[in-house]
Amino acid sequence: MKHEQNNQYKESVYLLHNILEKYPLCVLSWINYGDSLWGLNEKSQAKIAYQKYIYTMKSQNKDLTKISQRVFERSK
């Protein structure tokens, strides 16, 4: 998401939160949401988002080797 890549974390969190309310199975939104929350130093909320990302990847039988190591580290 462009907002997250430009360090516009607040805008990104707002948009992604709304997207995920309507489309909770949108895999990429979860990782972007986690990254944006992490950028705002909301690490406990980011951890939850990363865990939901991993769960959604698994539930959709996605290739788990595509998950970045930072996601696993931040989801602990």
Question: Rounded mean pLDDT of 17-33?
Answer: 97
What is the reported pLDDT for 5?
56
Domain extent for 51? 2-74
How many CB atoms are located within 10 Å of the residue 64 CB?
10
pLDDT average, residue stretch 7-32: 95
CA distance 49 to 76: 11
Global pTM exceeds 0.85: yes
Give 37 or 2, the one with higher predicted confidence: 37
Query: If you average pLDDT over residues 1-15, what whole number do you get?
Result: 76
**Based on the structure, what is the number of domains in the chain?**
1
Q: Read off the pLDDT band of 46 (50, 70, 90).
A: very high
CATH number, domain of 67, equals 1.25.40
d(CA 42, CA 1): 18
